[in-house]
Structure 1
Amino acid sequence: MSVPSLWTVLASLVSVIVLLSGGDARAEVATSAPRLRTAFYYAANVPPELLNHYDRVVVEPEYATALPPRAASRAELFAYVSLGEVHPTRAYSKQVPTAWVLGKNGEYGADIIDAARPEWRPFVLDRILEPLYQKGYRGFFFDTLESYKRFAPPSTWPRHTASLAAIVTGFAQRHPDAKILLNRGFEFLPQVATSVAGVVAESLFNTWELVPGREGQAPAQRAVPVAKAQSDALLAKLREVTTRYRLPVTVIDYVPASAGADARKAAAKKILAVGFAPYITGFNVDEVGLGEVESISRRILLLHKGDDQGYLGVQDANVLIAPVLEWMGYRIDYMDVRRALPANNLAGQYAGIVVFLPEGAPNEAPLERFLIRQLDAGMKIAFMEGFGFSPNERFLRRIGLAAASVEVKAPMVFNPPALSPYVGFEAKPRAHVRELTPVTLGPNAEALKTKSFLRLEDATKRTWDGVVIGPWGGAAFFPYVLQEGLEGERRWILDPFRFLHDALDLPSIPVPDVTTESGRRELTVHIDGDAFPSLAERHGYPYAGQVVLDEILRAYPQLPHTVSVVEGEVGPAGRYPEKSPALERIAREIFRLPNVELASHTYSHPFFWADAEAGKTEPHGLEPVHLPIPGYKFSLQRDIAGSVDYINKRLAPPDKKVKVLLWPGDCSPSGRAVGMTQDIGVFNVNGGGATRSRETPSLTRGSAMGVPEDNGSFQVFAPVENENVYTNDFLGPYYGYRRAIETFELNESPRRLSHIPIYFHFYSATKTAALSAVKEVYAWALRQETTPLYMSEYAAKVLAFQKVTLARRIEDGAWEIGQNGPLRTVRVDEQWGFPDFERSSGVAGLRDVPQGRYVHLVSGEKVVLAPSATPSRGVFLEHANGQIHYWAREAKGARLRIRGHVPLSITVGGVQRGANCVLRYGGAGSASRVAKGVLATVRSASAQTVSIMFTLKETDTGEGSLECQ
């Protein structure tokens, strides 16, 4: 059984006095039963926000076909089971004789069952409930317990209730570990109270009704208030459930997402005020609802059209749009419009929809219908470079637009001439309507609050609008999104950050951040195994592997490195069996170093993954599909799992195993290949990569975090490209990799878009100029204030980014962060405020830098982040070059555990001026040491607090206590 939170326990010990809506009398509401969060979701793919922020989630088993692992979520899953009705879509419906049917539920098209028949009880137990139990469900929600009242004579009602009670107690006896929720069932609750885990009731204050549709249209549904007499009667029964039977109660009220978040919150607070757990949802229970917490989706649905190549990582949806949304804290669900679009309402599942279809959709009508359905449900949509279809008058009117003239009379000007902040981001626009979508604000634009932010006007005063935003979303049309230059160079005309934020009306959220650890920019180094056996421009022509060992890995012991080899170049079953003993000896020396993490660069180093996996062998010009290893026929198993196994058995020291597979070649493996790395328990990295420079600084040359695969795996990209790109495929200039410093700097200001990933190949050691450039990059990186990590640690953060969930408590505004795992940083803006350390948990501190306010989370903690308009008093962690594993504030300091790969530097803030601070530390089994702090900065003159810096000589030893007198 779920353990209730401290708040739940406290709430169960008190009674509250509330003023009932619409009345003058005050009523005492007992809350002697624990209040458990229960959500209801009757569509496919249960949103992780519900699984991570609720105690129980009721699902429709016919749609929720795959049960998530219990350990992967906070919530217990409950299967929806209709005990009083059978819908014809149920798999078992054909097994129900017509003699068992009392009548028809006209609203849902279900048969109402004569539950008093003796055959019904074994049918339910054996054919409905038992298969669900065998499937893995241990929670069950019994619905339609009063449907018989529509047709059965009142004199027979006792027999119906007795039969239903027997089903409940019979199943509980058969499976004592099963938990049962009842939807009402008040008549037989005394007989079954000890067998159930809670009661649910619908429509305490808000319900719904059918509204006849216009001619040719289906009936609609709308929310309506419940009559006070009905509310009072239900309220009295629910109070009895909590006080007499000590059972938790959940109330479902119906307010759809299209009514707005404020209306839903008001409905939830009204239920909370009378002492019950609320859940506010839409009529079909197929959208993410709202309970004690408001689930804040971090997912964006990105509609795009794939190309014939098929690899998402090189398509503009991933290259241009994803990096912007990821920086804003959102993970991307890519949907290729060539496939079938979802049929259900996506409200609540997604923070918004982005349509990026410069070339249009292949099937326009289904796309238009899908988008209208989502707009009607309250979803916001941002169109980039056009609609993706030819909109009809009805669609344009829906968003406050109208068709514009296709004729233009020069001159064309902007009106007003002053450009809005949405354009001119990297390039200024020119006034013309060539290929511009011919739309302008419609006559209903003012009523719908649709506004233009780039208006063009010709000599006849006819108008066209290039950027529009309204409550429905926004649209930015070609040619006012991107400027196309020579040789494919592009620049943003549109400010994609501002436009997407405002068009989708994205809230100010704690942004999960993979670039920063403990307040410092992360630093990684990873080396691809190419050319390990090549000879270097050094006396005696040593192997490149030996040069990297001597001049890089041993020369920079203060930095963690992730190093790979290509088995086909190093191993005895590769291209150079006669050199293998010497090469393996060097590889073993490298892997024994304490600052080296083991990685594989595959067995045959595929240069063209699609061809290799398809079994093709025809070279691409001078390049083979993969290394020509005698007698080798490409195999994913051999290249991936086999190469990892080779390193683990022949090259790895006893205390190490391979942690990462670094993709070679074009870095475009299939989902099957990426999934294989996950199956064998190693991280995967490479692909993508920014190439911005002072000469070409555009964010169009940035990089996403990676690409998701259909099988649920994820390919992690290297955020910045390697020296091969900076040296023109290593044809020269060989010193070109020094320009990576420009990329690192551009990715730091004004926004921190990536950490510092030093990334090169062994072949850089073959050229003196190339190796000198690598060392120049090292020297620059060591001058920066960073937290060094292994590449596996960075990859783990990227994978965690895809899973992090957010929810905001509706009573106190605190944020809950779920499934953050190794991702220990969130970024907030100034409007969000400061973390309130007293009301927060799992929060160690914060650091303000020009790129934002970075808040440090604690590993393994349940994170609650409560905002405050002013800074909290007391000691907090400002920044460190290690990872926070424990932080607990005390009266005069804190207890802490901070571990790193380098000698630790720890800075704490919030210390009163003049205080003496001492850090006592020492790892397990080691002698206690003392580090005295030195003044670092004056943090806030008004608060008279300062920052104290501690420098430790040892690594992995920042465990102990901080005291300030």
Structure 2
Amino acid sequence: MKYLFFILLFITANVTAKPETNNSIAFYYSAPMPLAEMTFYSRVVVQPELITKHELNWLKQRNIAVYAYLSVGESFSKSESSLSVNPNWNSHISDLTAAQWQLHIQNSALSLKARGFNGLFLDTLDSYQLLDKKHNKSAQQAGLVFIIEQLSNTFNKQLILNRGFELLPQLKGRANDLVAEGLFSHFNPLDNSYKLTNKNDQAWLNAQLHKAQDLGFNVQVIDYAKPKQRLAMAQKIINAGYTPWVTDGHLQTWGTSNIAPVPRRILIPYNSNIEPLIYTTVHLNLATMIEYLGYIPDYINVAKRALPAVDPSLHAGIISWTSFDTFYTPTITNWLEANLGVVPELILGELPSSANKLMLSLGAEPLDVTPLGPYELESFTPWLKGESSIPPVVTNPYFLKLAANSKALISIKAADGTSLVQGTKTKYGALVVAPWLIDTLPMEGSKWVIDPRTLLTKAMGLEPILVPDTTTQSGRRMLTIHIDGDGFTSVAHFAKKPYSAEVILDKIIKHYKLPLTSSIIQADIEPGGLHSKMSPKLERIARDIFKLPYVEIASHTYSHPYFWTALAGRKDIDEEDTDYGLKLDIPGYNTISLEKEITDSIKYIDDKLAPANKKTVIMLWSGDATPGPKALELARDAGVLNVNGGNTDVNADNPSLTHVSPIGRPERDLLYQIYAPILNENVYTNLWHGPYYGFKRLTETFEITEKPYRLKPYTIYFHFYSGEVPAGLDALKHNIDYVLARPNTPVHLSHYAKVAKDFYFSALAKNSDGQWLFSSKDIKTLRVPDVFDMPNISQSSGVAGVTQKGDYVHVVNNIAQLSFDHSKENKAPYLASANVIIDNWQVNGPVSFTAWVPATLDLINAGACVFVSHLGERYKGLTRGDITQFKIPAGDFFGYLNCNAGV
């Protein structure tokens, strides 16, 4: 009975702890799908030809019902069933009584059902009314009812009707929802205009909608407004008694319901024929700060797809950064010019040679003369100055002067005293030319000449937003530990000459008992591999590692390919790069097979090494760790996550953000490579040539990626060969002990990988009360920028608490609602921080979490609280100041947080 009691409590918590319900159906008739924003809705309507298989599956995996648009009364293709033309859309009105048309509609529905759609949105139900009197209206109505009855049977009544008011009594019970457009505003497709609906038409439509409601239909109104006016229009629809969706006349921009989207995507065009994304400076350097600010780099490969229409509801800005003047085709420059004033723009590096409107709008125009050097710095806006203490050497400047209504950010002076602007700002955005972005100095490495944060915020004008955070869990910096399989079979320099894997197992894995991800290279340990005679012992060591409860299993491929970039066809391999070959030298294995490296290596581990209750969960990329789309697809098909790569190895010799990589890299079909948060001991030990204690400098990286910005979790990433020598083992212990002496939350690498990937699929919105909403499947932390007030947890929902500084909010539901309204004092108990992964949290209700180490939970306003486990153990806290700290043994906790006074 005790266990049943707690199960009921958890069910109750999941029902009652949700933020405001959103009953609107979202409509979107463009591509690609705004998947993140769609997670605020339980149903979405799309044009079926515009959604990909992977997008459809992604939505269905999140229990979002996807309805396909289906035109019942019209077609853009003339056929035997066509009776007339609709002049508004230049489409053909169909004969609803024609057997061939009825069969066409039914076959279309069956095809959509086979693709996986959950229902249909039936449009053009009133088109038959445009026919002249020679066509029998009653017969057309009967044909329409027959068609809808068939569709209702096919989709089990999951139909959304667009109007069709005259037939609603006959369609009762055949569909659940009705949508009507134009209650307060309407769209004219002939001239793309928007007009307010007159009072008489409003009254008529209201009457029809009330009749539909009386018949039991759920009624939604689609109206039209510019993005900034949509939330007010939606509230007007709500006040009229209907569910709202406010968008554009073609439904090709993301709309507003009772919440308005907060745009996060930054459009970044690049051309893979000129330079692959992995080599672009905007990805390697600026994307890190874009993501830190909470925005998503939305890379557009112009070599493979058209530039998109800019939607201010989804897109927060445009950034163009190139080192190649051939990048700026007329198509790109025209697109940039067309979107001036739509969203802020930032033009960096090389400038287009023939884009006078773009340059003038961003504050620069060409000089009539080309004054000679030497050139020296004239002015540099203080807030834009970056890491470099000296200005770059300029030998080939841009000969630009300041345009009207603009501000100079950077200017230099020629030998004759002429002023040349190299950076400008206007109301449309900003531009900064090379070499005033990143400077590379001999023996010193690269540094930001400008500050990338203020470049994006003050110069470009990005607004501060809540940030989906990938570094922190329950208010404390995450700790991940993972091992690449290299060196598993190395003989260690210790007594009895154990394998390095045995040293790591005994001295690190078993000693610390922290969540850890371990991998092997199949050919290194399998029978018939490189060490066939010792395979039984090597496989036994691997099994001993994998069976530990805190170890999760990964593959480090079959043969450890070194050049994934070349395998993806993105780079030719230079002979000097191949001193150690393309892979491990395995007899008989001459050509690298992606299936063998990924799919088969995972199967080998699962079949031969993994205990019965475990499977491989991650692919850890080898070598240059730059897999192409096919490799990422194989990993996804195998059901595993993927991690490694990136370039985060910053240290005190050059503490530059240019050595901190972004979270990950996109490929086609929703594929993402997640970068290792921080690189391994190889880069700290001169490619393992020594000094072997060099990995101790990892703590420098920890400190630089913590202040002034927490950019990465604590990550201890190494190879088994760290156990080969005492200095390497000592460095590992040093790093782990360093982290354990500081607040942290240990998590598996797979946990981080899910969080990291979900950064690109999480969404923000605001409601009419100014509250923020956050939607994410895996991210459970929101970072609050300094300019925001302290969140009021008692007025929020879907959250467990906030840190004492107010900078990290702990999210516990897939949709959270955060309030900054302090009109009511926050006296309820809430979590300040903990070293646990929270699954469920409710004050005076059920709580569950995972603690890999003894749990410490700091709560505020919790002096009267006690944790009670499902077995009846009670844990009281110790109060010091505002904090009450609770200590609970490691493990999975299921219980109750009782905060009733006097308990």
TM-score w.r.t. the length of structure 1 is: 0.84
- Matched residue, 2:349: 385
Partner of 1:955: 891
Partners of 2:518 and 2:189 lie apart in 1 by 64
> Paired residue for 2:534?
579
CA contact (8 A) 2:794 2:828 kept: no
**Match of residue 919 from structure 1:** 867
Q: Which residue of 1 aligns with 2:640?
A: 682
Paired with 1:228 and 1:821, the residues of 2 have a C-alpha distance of 44
Quote how far apart the aligned CAs of 1:435 are: 4.2
User: Shift in Å at residue 742 of structure 1?
Assistant: 0.3
Alignment of 1:694-713 (within 5 A): 694-713=652-671
Give the corresponding residue for 1:853.
807
Match of 2:9 in 1: none
Partners of 1:730 and 1:176 lie apart in 2 by 62
The question of whether the paired residues in 1 share the 8 Å contact of 2:177 and 2:217 is answered with yes
Task: Name which of 254, 274, 281 aligns with 2:247.
Answer: 281
- 2:380 and 2:410 in contact (8 A); partners too: no
294, 301, 305: which is aligned to 1:336? Answer: 301
Aligned equivalent of 2:432 = 476
Corresponding position of 1:52: 39
Q: CA deviation at 1:442?
A: 3.5
- Pair 1:863-2:816 in alignment: yes
Q: Is the contact between residue 619 and residue 625 of structure 1 (CA under 8 Å) also seen in structure 2?
A: no
Q: Residue 715 in 1 paired to residue 686 in 2?
A: no
Aligned ranges 1:483-522 → 2 under 5 Å: 483-486=439-442, 489-502=445-458, 505-522=461-478
Does structure 1 residue 590 correspond to structure 2 residue 590? no
Q: Does structure 1 conserve the Cα–Cα contact (< 8 Å) formed by 2:267 and 2:317?
A: yes
Q: Tell me, yes or no, if the aligned pair for 1:86 and 1:113 is still in contact at 8 Å.
A: yes
Q: Would you say the 8 A contact 1:386–1:475 is kept in 2? A: no
* Aligned: 1:419 with 2:406: no
Maintained 8 Å contact 1:145/1:183: yes
Confirm or deny: 8 A CA contact 2:617 2:750 kept in the other structure.
yes
Q: In structure 2, how many angstroms separate the alpha carbons of the residues matched to 1:623 and 1:812?
A: 62
Alignment of 1:354-503 (within 5 A): 354-362=319-327, 364-375=329-340, 378-387=342-351, 389-397=352-360, 399=362, 401-408=364-371, 417=379, 419-421=381-383, 423-428=384-389, 430=391, 434-443=395-404, 445=405, 451-456=407-412, 464-486=420-442, 489-502=445-458
One-letter amino acid matched to 2:168: L
Instruction: Classify the secondary structure of the residue corresponding to 1:554.
Output: helix
Alignment of 1:479-878 (within 5 A): 479-486=435-442, 489-502=445-458, 505-557=461-513, 559-611=514-566, 620-633=577-590, 634-809=592-767, 811-818=768-775, 820-849=776-805, 853-858=807-812, 861-869=814-822, 872-878=826-832
* 2:872 alignment counterpart: 928
SS in 2 for 1:660: strand
- What is the CA-CA distance between 1:726 and the residue it aligns to? 0.8
Q: Does 1:188 align with 2:139?
A: no
Q: 1:238 and 1:414 mapped to 2: Cα distance?
A: 68
2:176 is matched by which residue type in structure 1? A
**Cα deviation, residue 101, structure 1:** 2.9
1:93-117 deviations in whole A, cap 9, x for unaligned? 25335xx332352x432234455x5
Structure 1 gaps, min length 5: 12-33, 88-92, 212-219, 939-945
Alpha-carbon distance between aligned partners in 2 of 1:455 and 1:291, rounded to the nearest angstrom: 46
Aligned CA distance change for structure 1 residues 856 and 186 (closer, same or farther; 3 Å): same
Which structure has more relative contact order (CA 8 Å, sep 6+)? It is 2
TM-aligned CA deviation for residue 288 of structure 1: 1.0
Shift of 1:933: 1.8
Question: What's the secondary structure of 2:439's corresponding residue?
Answer: strand
Task: Classify 1:403/1:569 alpha carbon distance in 2 versus 1 (closer, same or farther; 3 Å).
Answer: same
Pick the aligned partner of 1:202 from 181, 187, 190.
Answer: 181
Which residue of structure 1 lines up, in the alignment, with residue 234 of structure 2? Answer: 268
Aligned-pair CA distance for 1:587: 2.8
CA contact (8 A) 2:364 2:421 kept: no
Task: Out of 722-731 and 359-368, give the one that drifted further.
Answer: 359-368
CA distance in structure 2 between the aligned counterparts of 1:10 and 1:350, rounded to whole angstroms = 26
Change (3 A) 1:381 1:74: farther
Match of 2:11 in 1: none
The 2-side partners of 1:532 and 1:6 are apart by 49
Work out whether 1:883 is the aligned partner of 2:862: no
In structure 2, distance between residues paired with 1:104 and 1:762: 71
Structure 2 residue identity aligned to 1:693 = N
Inter-partner Cα distance in structure 1 for 2:230 and 2:417: 45
For the Cα contact (< 8 Å) 1:431–1:456, is it kept in 2?
no
CA distance in 2, matches of 1:233, 1:291: 23
Given the superposition, is the C-alpha separation of residues 510 and 187 from structure 1 closer, same or farther in structure 2, using an over 3 Å criterion? same
- Shift of the alpha carbon at 1:118? 4.6
Equivalent residue of 1:867, what SS? coil
Contact 1:408 1:458 in 2 (8 A): yes
The Cα shift of 1:56 comes to: 2.9
Structure 2 distance, partners of 1:295, 1:465, is 37
Q: 1:409 to 1:309 in 2, by over 3 A?
A: closer
For 1:424, the aligned partner's letter is K
Identity %: 31
C-alpha distance in structure 1 between counterparts of 2:408 and 2:703, whole Å: 35
The offset of 1:128, in angstroms, is 4.4
Residue segments in structure 2 that go unaligned for 5+ positions in a row:
1-13
Shift of 1:916: 5.0
Cα distance, 1:824 vs. partner?
1.3
Question: Which of 833, 839, 851 does residue 900 from structure 1 map onto?
Answer: 851
Whether the 8 Å contact between 2:344 and 2:460 is mirrored in structure 1 is: yes
CA distance in 2, matches of 1:727, 1:948: 43
Deviation at 1:73, TM superposition (A): 3.9
Deviation at 1:684, TM superposition (A): 1.9
Equivalence for 1:77: 66
User: Is residue 212 of structure 2 the alignment partner of residue 241 of structure 1?
Assistant: yes
Question: Could you tell me whether the CA contact under 8 Å between 2:36 and 2:761 is conserved in 1?
Answer: no
Deviations 1:845-902 (A, max 9, x none): 11145xx6111112x6543333334762211111111111111123xxx542222111
Confirm or deny: 8 A CA contact 1:280 1:289 kept in the other structure: yes
Give yes or no for contact 1:844–1:877 (8 Å, CA) kept in 2: yes
How far has the Cα of 1:532 moved from its partner?
1.8
Q: Is the 8 A contact 2:109 2:154 kept in 1?
A: no
Summarize the Cα distance change of 1:434–1:164 in structure 2 as closer, same or farther, 3 Å threshold: farther
Whole-angstrom distance in 2 between the partners of 1:902 and 1:6:
30
RMSD of equivalent CA atoms: 3.3
TM-score (norm 2): 0.89
Separation (CA, whole Å) in 2 of partners of 1:316 and 1:958: 47
Contact in 2 for aligned 1:341/1:367 (Cα 8 Å): no
In the TM superposition, 1:23-42 aligns within 5 A as 36-42=23-29
Distance 1:564 1:405 in 2: 63
Give the direction of change, closer, same or farther, for the CA distance of 1:463–1:209 in structure 2 (3 Å limit). Answer: farther
Measured after TM superposition, the shift of residue 149 of structure 1 is 4.6
Displacement of 1:907: 1.1
Task: Please identify, of 525-534 and 151-160, the stretch whose mean Cα deviation from structure 2 is larger.
Answer: 151-160
Shift of the 430–141 alpha-carbon distance from structure 1 to 2, 3 Å rule, reads same
Q: Secondary structure at the match of 2:532?
A: coil
| TM superposition shift of 1:537 | 2.2
- Counterparts of 2:192 and 2:119, CA distance in 1: 30
What is the CA-CA distance between 1:150 and the residue it aligns to?
4.6
2:71, 2:220 → 1: CA distance? 18
Give the Cα–Cα distance (whole angstroms) in 1 for the partners of residues 563 and 415 of structure 2.
Answer: 54
Structure 2 match to 1:215: none
CA-CA distance at 1:682 after TM superposition = 2.4
Contact 1:617 1:625 in 2 (8 A): no
* CA distances 1:127-166 after superposition (whole Å, capped 9, x unpaired): 5444434444342223233445555249955554454344
Quote the Cα distance in structure 2 between the aligned partners of 1:124 and 1:592. Answer: 57
